[in-house]
Structure 1
């Protein structure tokens, strides 16, 4: 038998329905509160910005000016200085290269010209003084160090070479090894050995690594450090067997082993 609802019949609210309605009202109230808080926060931010426009604009202006100043300094001060330094060092480089190719008679005078200048151009020492922060000024330390080394001014050579900074594959170890050469000339083999070992380990290539491993081995033999010498010689033999230094390994290896 079918059951029909009477006209005007209203279902009786259940407890569950009451809870749903209450939850909905709570969520609606919470949402409204969140938006009100956001509005209040936005209003406070706007008020703060409005009240602090001047310091904000000043701060932005400082940042912009600093950025423009840096770009301007780089373009109008640093770059021209780099060009000037490169122009000034060019003549010294020519003297230096000619000195390396010259006979002993002319070497000293050419190295001195490289150091002190000629033909109206700065020498390496003036380039260092006037353009110390440039790439050419840094490179001048290397040239000056090698020039001093060749004319027998070993302490000056060490000072210049210590000031030279480079990540170059060849120049960096050459500079370090040249300091070792200067200490050898000063009869300080212990210091020389340390620099030769540093030069050999700085980079791994077929030119500088076996060169300074051999110098380290010979110096170690002189200091009667047979084990150290054998270690350096064995490395040449194992890793750089096609280098010119490898040909002399058997001779020095016998000496090293005889010290142990």
Structure 2
């Protein structure tokens, strides 16, 4: 047990004197070790300062280069890409509100461009690294899906990436739609289920749970269909899909 000693305390017995000498020796040894370590560090720095300065210089150049790239190249490119995409987006929106040959024509203009502006394909080719270029992949995929070019739709949508609550699952589910049109329901089911799991919201989740259930019924997988339908009924009772659950639930149960 440690004993408190007042300041100025002098050891009286021989044992106390020996302990004091040992304490002083240990303290001195610690400081000597620290001094030696500091000296070795200083010596290492002195020997390698040339390389240290080179490394610091390279790091500074990389950081400054990145900042300059962002400010003088990437940001203007982002603005230019967004400006170029405005007309293509208008064509796309008009196509959604049209039908037949007119709709197909507008989707094609959205893809290839018009009024002296780039279409989505040109934007992807010229501004693929920008946010607008990434978004153009989504629009191009949906345009191809709506014009029955399913493999192109899959290719563009698969290259699109997003953290958006709605767009991310919509893109994934649209790939499922394309596979279903290509008569590949197994792949379609995988994408519908993935789309349903990507986000949890009252719009995309029940939408793709229902598509997954219907596709599972088509594949004869009643258990999977029932699981998806029950989830819609339990978690999204106010959704439009909930009103259709009973239509398919009986079919799913009859398969088991």
What is the TM-score normalised by the length of structure 1?
0.85
Q: 1:80 aligns with which of 71, 76, 80?
A: 76
Answer with 207-216 or 19-28: which moved more. Answer: 19-28
Cα deviation digits, residues 88-147 of structure 1 (max 9, x gap): 222111111111011223111110011111111111111111212211111111111110
Task: Determine helix, strand or coil for the equivalent of 1:130.
Answer: helix
Larger radius of gyration: 1
The yes-or-no answer on 1:97 pairing with 2:81 is no
Task: Determine helix, strand or coil for the equivalent of 1:138.
Answer: helix
Q: Which ranges of structure 1 fall in alignment gaps of 5 or more residues? A: 1-15
Change over 3 Å in CA distance of 1:58–1:102 after alignment to 2: same
Q: 1:126 aligns with which of 122, 128, 134?
A: 122
Q: 1:213 aligns with which of 203, 209, 213?
A: 209
Change over 3 Å in CA distance of 1:223–1:39 after alignment to 2: closer
Q: 1:163 aligns with which of 159, 164, 167?
A: 159
**Stretches of 4+ aligned residues off by more than 6 angstroms:** none
The yes-or-no answer on 1:175 pairing with 2:171 is yes
Number of positions where the alignment pairs a residue of Structure 1 with one of Structure 2 = 245
Structure 1 residue 255 displacement after superposition: 2.4
Please tell me the root mean square deviation across aligned C-alpha atoms, in Å: 2.1
In the alignment, the residues of structure 2 paired with residue 132 and residue 79 of structure 1 have an alpha-carbon distance, to the nearest angstrom, of 14
- Per the alignment, residue 148 of structure 1 pairs with 144
- Per the alignment, residue 5 of structure 1 pairs with none
Paired residues for 1:1-260 under 5 Å: 17-32=13-28, 34-36=30-32, 38-260=34-256
What is the TM-score normalised by the length of structure 2?
0.86
- Per the alignment, residue 12 of structure 1 pairs with none
In the alignment, the residues of structure 2 paired with residue 241 and residue 35 of structure 1 have an alpha-carbon distance, to the nearest angstrom, of 73
Q: Which ranges of structure 2 fall in alignment gaps of 5 or more residues? A: 1-11
